[in-house]
Structure 1
Amino acid sequence: MKIRLILAHPLQDSLNARLAAHVGARLRAMGHDLAVTDLYAEGFAPVLTASERARYYGAPFEDRAGLAGVEGLVLVFPTWWFGLPAILKGWIDRSFLPGVAYDHAPGGGAMVPRLTNLTRVMAITTLGAPWWYDRLIARRPVHKALKWGVIRPVAPRARFAMAALHRAETATEPRIAGFESRLSRRLTRHFS
């Protein structure tokens, strides 16, 4: 399977970087064709420019992110303020474009999906909040936004999964290792 892994954390020695390396090694061991993009290391510019927005309903954009042939997508990022880091939101804004991820329907109707090859998506995040606050109080806003607001409209056949390490700032080495072990099993199930 052709898979893209997107890492969105500014620190090269972060827990997110560690998790991305773990995920990458596991997916490669499973025999997948993996391409990794570290948005910060590559100096990705997340701002959708005025000229890009002005032609949003014009000619289709080029597929700069290489999404067209991708069958799997993995996003590794911290959850900040119960949302995506700005750089990852910007990557979505500048990659999931008309003519690439979807087409505008005539008359302003629902989007017409274009990422028909994308069949598996997994989001892996770390956050400081406890699980009960994320699930019971905030009601998993990042999960909802990614699954229903980003992936479903452009790749309706894609299976979406999310793994979250809560209270990440105080996670001990045994707890992180346990999360990585569970993550390996989930990757095997999700990308097999």
Structure 2
Amino acid sequence: MRILLVLAHPLEDSFAASVAREAHEALVAGGHSVDLLDLYREDFDPRLSKVERGSYFSDHYDSSLTEGMIARLQAADGIVLVFPQWWFNFPAILKGFFDRVFVPGVAFDNDPAGGRIIPRLKNIKLFWALTTTGSPWWVVHLYMGNPVRRLLKRGIAAFCAKGLDFRMLSLHDMDRATDEKRKAHLARVRRLAARV
């Protein structure tokens, strides 16, 4: 498979970067090709431009500013997202990636009758998120209702592709995680990626 591995963390020595390295190594060892898209290192601008927003519901969405990233998405068979959850949501740069790359004519088509959008990412068979939270499991799941998982699975993945393998692997309570807990999580990431 061709995997687009998207990393969204500003620090090069972050735990998220370690997770991305583990996933990358396991995927390559499994014979897959991996396109690492490090949003910060590639200086991705998350802001939707005036031209992009203005053409969002037109017959021809203007994707000229993100053509390179769109081509990488369209060349992939699977997507693996690596990011921390901040305030029970995506980092702004990752939200901007969805806003500017998962666009009409690429990830979906707008229904001309105003109904449900029509998925276009038929090439994507795998959609995974490898993430961390600063909050304990019970806060994320019981109190907040796991909003990131809902957005990814019921929103982005379901509206843009059909019949894909969706998984989310999270390390909760990251701020208090011991080295042992972090190493165990990295081992889980490696085992999961090795099964692709």
Normalization by structure 2: what TM-score? 0.93
> Residue 156 of structure 1: SS of its match in structure 2?
coil
- Partner Cα separation in structure 2 for residue 136 and residue 55 of structure 1: 39
> What's 1:153 paired with?
159
- Partner Cα separation in structure 2 for residue 17 and residue 170 of structure 1: 18
For residue 107 of structure 1, the aligned residue among 91, 106, 113 is 113
Q: Is the 8 A contact 2:52 2:61 kept in 1?
A: no
Note the alpha carbon deviations across 1:48-82, whole angstroms, 9 max, x for none. Answer: 01111001122144443221231110000010000
> What's 1:186 paired with?
192
For residue 127 of structure 1, the aligned residue among 85, 109, 133 is 133
Gaps of 5+ in 2: none
1:64 corresponds to 2:68: yes
Deviation at residue 112 of structure 1 after TM alignment: 1.1
Deviation at residue 185 of structure 1 after TM alignment: 2.1
Gaps of 5+ in 1: none
- Partner Cα separation in structure 2 for residue 74 and residue 178 of structure 1: 19
- Partner Cα separation in structure 1 for residue 91 and residue 49 of structure 2: 18
Computed over aligned residues only, the root mean square deviation of the Cα atoms, in angstroms, reads: 1.2
Deviation at residue 186 of structure 1 after TM alignment: 2.0
Q: Is the 8 A contact 1:24 1:34 kept in 2?
A: yes
> What's 1:28 paired with?
28
> Residue 90 of structure 2: SS of its match in structure 1?
coil
- Partner Cα separation in structure 1 for residue 109 and residue 154 of structure 2: 17
Q: Is the 8 A contact 2:171 2:185 kept in 1?
A: yes
- Partner Cα separation in structure 2 for residue 7 and residue 122 of structure 1: 12
Q: Is the 8 A contact 2:51 2:62 kept in 1?
A: no
- Partner Cα separation in structure 1 for residue 55 and residue 62 of structure 2: 9
Q: Is the 8 A contact 1:118 1:157 kept in 2?
A: no
Q: Report the residue type matching 2:68 in the other structure.
A: R
> Residue 107 of structure 1: SS of its match in structure 2?
coil
> Residue 3 of structure 2: SS of its match in structure 1?
strand
Q: Report the residue type matching 1:117 in the other structure.
A: N
Sequence identity percentage:
42
- Partner Cα separation in structure 2 for residue 67 and residue 41 of structure 1: 18
> Number of paired residues?
190
Deviation at residue 187 of structure 1 after TM alignment: 2.1
- Partner Cα separation in structure 1 for residue 57 and residue 123 of structure 2: 24
> Residue 17 of structure 1: SS of its match in structure 2?
helix
- Partner Cα separation in structure 1 for residue 20 and residue 13 of structure 2: 11
- Where has structure 1 moved over 4 Å in runs of 4 or more? none
Deviation at residue 107 of structure 1 after TM alignment: 1.2
- Partner Cα separation in structure 2 for residue 169 and residue 42 of structure 1: 27
1:53 corresponds to 2:53: yes
